[in-house]
């Protein structure tokens, strides 16, 4: 027996667009992002190729590899849930180095790899998959809140499964604040070689 789920189309909205300009985690708000096949023009993660890092322990660090992590995409609703769990008023997309904050897509972080995000300009992103929360981002949020050094580790725990997605540019174009976004998933099939677990 194969467990499978049908393809799905969803609609959301772009609440914020941001560029990472420095080696720090944070991103800076912009009214518009210009996308080429290399990613966001002017973003620190722009490139067709990137050096591997601790996320790819199967490669020697610094190995050249195709850049599947051109953009970081987070959910407004998930960020609010993480903030609530940490007893914070809010967490801004900028603090977690997001390029896009999107609202209206339930469980954004669980969108399957290969999903498409289409924007009115014709720009399309293809989703590589979910992003894992890291201590560096926790530390950045802690630095915003005096007396809350607990946030460095607390963020990693609270943001598990809610840290958004990474992906790459499938079609060039622009993304603007206020844009509608159409998400298309593919039929999802549970790989039979792996047991189904409940969490």
Give the CB-side neighbour count of residue 154, counting CA atoms within 13 A.
Answer: 15
Question: By CB under 8 A, is residue 13 in contact with its own copies?
Answer: no
Question: Quick one: which of 25, 44, 46 has its CA closest to 172?
Answer: 46
Question: By CB under 8 A, is residue 193 in contact with its own copies?
Answer: yes
Is the sign of the CA dihedral 26, 132, 198, 158 positive or negative? negative
Distance, CA of 77 to chain centre: 13
Instruction: Give 91-116 as a DSSP string.
Output: --GGGGT-SEEEES-TTGGGPPTT-E
Q: Which of 139, 156, 174, 186 binds its own copies (CB under 8 A)?
A: 186
Question: Quick one: which of 114, 126, 138 has its CA closest to 188?
Answer: 114
Q: Which of 3, 21, 29, 32 binds its own copies (CB under 8 A)?
A: 3
- Site size toward its own copies, by CB under 8 A: 53
Question: By CB under 8 A, is residue 118 in contact with its own copies?
Answer: yes
Locate 112 and state its tokens. Answer: 């399957």
Question: By CB under 8 A, is residue 49 in contact with its own copies?
Answer: yes
Distance of closest approach, residue 15 Cβ to its own copies, in angstroms = 19
- Per-residue mark of binding to its own copies, 136-165 (x: CB under 8 A): -------------------------x----
Question: By CB under 8 A, is residue 51 in contact with its own copies?
Answer: no
**Phi and psi of 35, rounded to 5°?**
-110, 130
Give yes or no for a contact between 59 and 65, defined as CB atoms under 8 angstroms apart: yes
Considering only 25-33, 74-82, 146-154, 167-175, which stretch makes contact with its own copies by CB under 8 A? 167-175
Binding site for its own copies (CB under 8 A): 1-6, 8, 10, 37, 48-49, 58-59, 63-66, 68, 106-107, 110-114, 116, 118, 124, 126, 128-130, 161, 168-172, 184-186, 188-199
């Amino acid at each position: 027996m194969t467990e499978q789920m049908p393809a799905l189309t969803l609609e959301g909205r772009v609440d914020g667009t941001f560029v990472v300009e420095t080696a720090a985690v944070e991103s800076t708000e912009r009214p518009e992002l210009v996308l080429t096949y290399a990613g966001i023009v002017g973003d620190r993660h722009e490139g067709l190729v990137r050096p591997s890092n601790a996320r790819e322990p199967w490669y020697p660090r610094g190995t050249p590899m195709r850049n599947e992590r051109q953009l970081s995409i987070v959910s407004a609703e998930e960020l609010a849930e993480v903030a609530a769990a940490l007893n914070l008023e809010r967490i801004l997309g900028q603090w977690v180095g997001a390029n896009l904050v999107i609202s209206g897509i339930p469980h954004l972080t669980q969108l399957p790899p290969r999903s498409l995000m289409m924007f009115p300009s014709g720009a399309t992103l293809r989703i590589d998959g979910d992003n894992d929360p890291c201590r560096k981002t926790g530390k950045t949020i802690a630095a915003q809140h005096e007396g809350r050094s607990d946030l460095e580790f607390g963020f990693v725990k609270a943001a598990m499964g809610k840290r958004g997605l990474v992906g790459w540019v499938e079609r060039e174009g622009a993304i603007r604040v206020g844009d509608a976004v159409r998400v298309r998933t593919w039929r999802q099939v549970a790989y039979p070689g792996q047991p189904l677990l409940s969490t």
